[in-house]
Structure 1
Amino acid sequence: MTLLDVSGLTVRAAGGRALVTDLSFTVDSGERLGLIGESGSGKSLTTLAVLGLLPEGMTVTGSAVLAGTQVVGAPEKRLTALRGRDAAVVFQEPLTALDPLMRVGRQIAGPLARRTGLKGRALRDATYEALDRVRLPEPGRVARAFPHEISGGQRQRVALAAALACEPALLIADEPTTALDVSVQAEMLDLIDTLVREREMAVLFVSHDLAVVAKVTDRVLVMKDGRAVEEGAVRDIVGAPREAYTRDLVASARALESALDLRSAP
């Protein structure tokens, strides 16, 4: 079943310049699609348009149907109901997504309470369980902390726990490992892969790094200058890219992997 159906999506800046042009793709239930391209290719704008979160002044046309609801032109009340329930997002920098003045536990308990109606000790236990699920040690201590009191890797796990709290059908991961060092990045990718497989969730994974996308997705859509360049199964894109731009991305990913292998060699 198609969970997300994007057709002819065009995003324009306030002055009318097209930043994303006539983009179309689908994500089926349980499928994992990677959006890949260099910075400025329109990947993040696409995810914001899908969630109805574009910055003020930008306009969007075309269609983006999420879980049967047309997002383009939908009222804010309807969009709010979709977020968290049908789709949730993990951004690149959790400090911008987490409230710096609110303890971690409250930021997870809020959406949990709205979805489940839990209160008191039951809500606290569910919050601790959500933190434990993303492999955070001492969930009680983490829950009492403010975001600035924990590490960047821990903050990203908290953001993931908050996104998964309402068991959304689609997880949108927008460069979720870019701000992390290599070892923490690998742990985070493994965690995302494990959790979405356990829940049979769909994933829209955004990255500029093909090596990262290949680890957690089944299919890839390559973007350049706001347009789709190439689309296909990960093995086909990596093994036999058709477009010159895609071949450059594959070559860059292989060069990076080789460099990292040399650095880690004894």
Structure 2
Amino acid sequence: MTGPLLTVDGLTVRTGAGRELVSGLGFEIAPGERLGLIGESGSGKSLTTLAVLGLLPAGMTVTGSVRLDGTQIVGASEKTLVGVRGRSAAVVFQEPLTALDPLMRVGRQIAEPLRRRRDLKGAALKAAVADLLEQVRLPDPGRIARAFPHEISGGQRQRVALAMALACDPALLVADEPTTALDVTVQAEMLELIDGLVRERGMAVLFVSHDLAVVARVTDRVLVMKDGRAVESGAVTDVVRAPREAYTRALVDSARQLEAALDLDLGGAR
């Protein structure tokens, strides 16, 4: 496609009582581009991702424009949104244990979007499930496919969630704090996996985190949010080397403390 894959313009999210949680936000993501959305808890970043996917909880009101792969998300019908999710964009949430169905075997959960969106069945469906499990580097795909979510580790569950998100080859991967619930070693492995897979597939990424060190690992640009507003944006290396806002400088200082532990290169900023 030509032009941006995702365009957010004047996005405002309010509670039913009228309190603004996201205020006039705007940004774009080009095909294949990777944008990091960073801010502390309560900054509005996760609400922004939910708005992008048309998944805001009941009681919230949204105004402005969110255009994803040519489709206007704000005000769209559920039928339209269902057609967009999985194909134009897919999401990996923070806690896979709540994102996955506890009563359904892992293989069946991965098979569902393949069956519905790609019309796979029989041996072809089984092979596609196994292939996705191998792509996210899960050992013994047959055993994992037969397991229930509670029978595998947190890192394995997050890889399953990533496999489900990749099942229909979406143009945009939305990753909302996908490594926060993991320990440091597993977190680094997950970041490497996400980075490699999106590069191989040429996917765009909207990566949400409170940790600039994590965002620097998998994104090209960063947008910093505070109190529901964008306070700074730019190339990751530029923002790290010369942050303009005091809030961003605090995030950079925090990221430097984690750089050695996560073996990250934050653009040589010191």
**TM-score interval for Structure 1 and Structure 2 normalised by the shorter chain:** over 0.9
Unaligned runs of 5+ in 1: 262-266
Cα separation, partners in 2 of 1:172 and 1:259, compared to 1, 3 Å: closer
Shift of 1:259: 6.5
1:48-59 mapped onto 2 (5 Å cutoff): 48-59=50-61
Shift of 1:116: 1.9
Cα separation, partners in 2 of 1:260 and 1:80, compared to 1, 3 Å: closer
Q: Residues 223-248 of structure 1, C-alpha deviation per residue, up to 9 Å, x if partnerless?
A: 00000000000010000001111001
User: What letter matches 2:155 in structure 1?
Assistant: G
Distance 2:131 2:145 in 1: 11
User: What letter matches 1:36 in structure 2?
Assistant: I
| 1:82 maps onto 2:100 in alignment | no
Aligned to 2:266: none
SS in 2 for 1:248: helix
Aligned to 1:227: 229
Aligned to 2:201: 199
Distance 2:184 2:262 in 1: 9
Shift of 1:260: 6.8
Aligned to 1:132: 134
SS in 2 for 1:2: coil
SS in 2 for 1:57: coil
Q: Residues 116-166 of structure 1, C-alpha deviation per residue, up to 9 Å, x if partnerless?
A: 211111101110111110000100100000000000000000000000000
User: What letter matches 2:104 in structure 1?
Assistant: M
Distance 2:119 2:253 in 1: 50
Distance 1:146 1:180 in 2: 19
Sequence identity of aligned pairs in percent?
78
Shift of 1:96: 1.2
Report the aligned-residue RMSD: 1.0
Distance 2:112 2:262 in 1: 40
Q: Residues 63-92 of structure 1, C-alpha deviation per residue, up to 9 Å, x if partnerless?
A: 000000000000000001100000000000
| 1:36 maps onto 2:38 in alignment | yes
Distance 1:216 1:156 in 2: 17
1:149-188 mapped onto 2 (5 Å cutoff): 149-188=151-190
Aligned to 1:122: 124
Distance 1:217 1:71 in 2: 24
Distance 1:209 1:19 in 2: 20
Q: TM-score, normalised by structure 2?
A: 0.95
Aligned residues: 261
SS in 2 for 1:41: coil
User: What letter matches 2:67 in structure 1?
Assistant: V
Distance 2:118 2:229 in 1: 40
Unaligned runs of 5+ in 2: 264-270
Deviates more, 1:112-121 or 1:237-246: 112-121
